[in-house]
Structure 1
Amino acid sequence: MTGQEHPPPTDPRERRRLARRHEIMDVALAIAEGEGWEAVTTRRVARSIDYSQPVIYQHFASRDDLVAAIARRGFDTLTGEIESVARAGGARPFEGLCRRYVEFGRRRPRLYEVMFGAPTSLVFATADTPEELRRTFLALRELVARGHQSEDADGVTEFFWACCHGLVSLLLAGRIPETRVEEHVRRIGHLLDG
């Protein structure tokens, strides 16, 4: 939890509705993690949790809406990871953050894929960017601004994110050997930690 999220609802009916919504997202993500996003359909999700398809549509307007909600929740989780590194501090925060970022992508490759690579209705870097995505960027920017106050914090943040994202993308695609990841993490950290 990032501290930016809303407190749980007090109404029992609303809590049940929210729990069902989360269950639907969890099942859809589990299907994707096991078989890929093409296997995630509202029919398949409904069948997997013994609901009818109309129940899914009570919570999500479409499959795309469901997938976008999973991606937004993934950004909330990533924001929590970034904030955790920021709170921990340390002499080499960017190296630590890059390492945590890589682990995030490595642990949940399909979640990472839908956050950054799969087609969704989510838009980045515009006025329509969802709040969850903005919070992730701002958490990264806050950490960058601590060490790079005299520079363009937005530009340095984008550069750092691009480095971390590139490393995760190449790793998940099998384009770089697992044995070299830590070496690359140190290089990326060195670029920003100095």
Structure 2
Amino acid sequence: MPRSAQDIERIRERELRIVRAARDIAEQEGWQAVTVRRLADAIGFSQPILYRHFPRGRDEIVEHVVIDGYTELLAAISAGGEGLPALVTAYLAFARENPAVYYAMTTARTGIVFAADETPELLRQGFAMFERAVGGETPQERAVRAELLWSTLHGVSRFAADGRLDAALDDVRDGEIVRLFSAPASGS
């Protein structure tokens, strides 16, 4: 029997509440505190209801957090304006403001595939933003430059989150990243 629009909306709302609760617990207490039992208690649902929405349990919920995180990151980059400086600023700000979500996006083991035919379109779009920002004469050069920029931003984000970088140097550091990855002049 087909579900009504109200049923579909109720299901979607429950799923959003579950994912939001996972994010909130992770941001406050870390990912080790995010369990199906804890989520059920936090939102007032039984564990079987959570498993009905997310049959693979916590792993599937984390994957939803990861996809939501990339959606928000790409929106922040897009809203920040065009070009490499805006991308660098938006990326680092997102990582700083959403440490647990960023950790899940970049470190959690998930079934989400990167750099392959199965990569979700959202992630392909994000990588394309990096490629456009860094430029390059060939697709291979753009891809490598984008990977290196992403790796650099990830390293800076993780070191900053762990208190291993001088926050007073953030603007200078951002400027140096932009300088390092500015697109080379054609033919140079």
The TM-score bracket by the shorter chain reads: 0.7 to 0.9
Matched, 1:73 2:68: yes
1:73-109 per-residue CA deviation (whole Å, 9 max, x = no partner) reads 1111111122223xx33xxx21221111110000000
Q: Percent identity?
A: 32
The Cα of 1:11 is off from its aligned counterpart by: 1.9
Partner of 1:120: 110
Partner of 2:99: 109
Contact in 2 for aligned 1:42/1:63 (Cα 8 Å):
yes
Contact in 2 for aligned 1:73/1:132 (Cα 8 Å):
no
Q: Aligned pair count?
A: 177
Q: Does 1 or 2 have the higher relative contact order (CA < 8 Å, sep 6+)?
A: 1
Which of structures 1 and 2 has the bigger CA Rg?
2
| Matched position secondary structure for 1:139 | helix
Partner of 2:13: 19
Cα RMSD of the aligned pairs, angstroms, is: 1.8
| Matched position secondary structure for 1:120 | coil
1:125-171 per-residue CA deviation (whole Å, 9 max, x = no partner) reads 12332333223212322333xxx252421112112111211111111
Structure 2 residues not aligned, in runs of 5+: 184-188
Compute the TM-score of the two structures, normalised by the length of structure 2: 0.86
Compute the TM-score of the two structures, normalised by the length of structure 1: 0.84
The Cα of 1:19 is off from its aligned counterpart by: 1.2
1:5-24 per-residue CA deviation (whole Å, 9 max, x = no partner) reads xxxxx922211111110110
Letter in 2 for 1:180: L
**Distance in 2 between residues matched to 1:185 and 1:21, nearest whole Å:** 37
Contact in 2 for aligned 1:95/1:193 (Cα 8 Å):
no
Matched, 1:168 2:157: yes
The Cα of 1:181 is off from its aligned counterpart by: 1.9
Contact in 2 for aligned 1:42/1:56 (Cα 8 Å):
yes
Letter in 1 for 2:66: A
Structure 1 residues not aligned, in runs of 5+: 1-9
Partner of 2:126: 136
Partner of 2:87: 97
**Distance in 1 between residues matched to 2:52 and 2:23, nearest whole Å:** 18
Partner of 1:43: 37
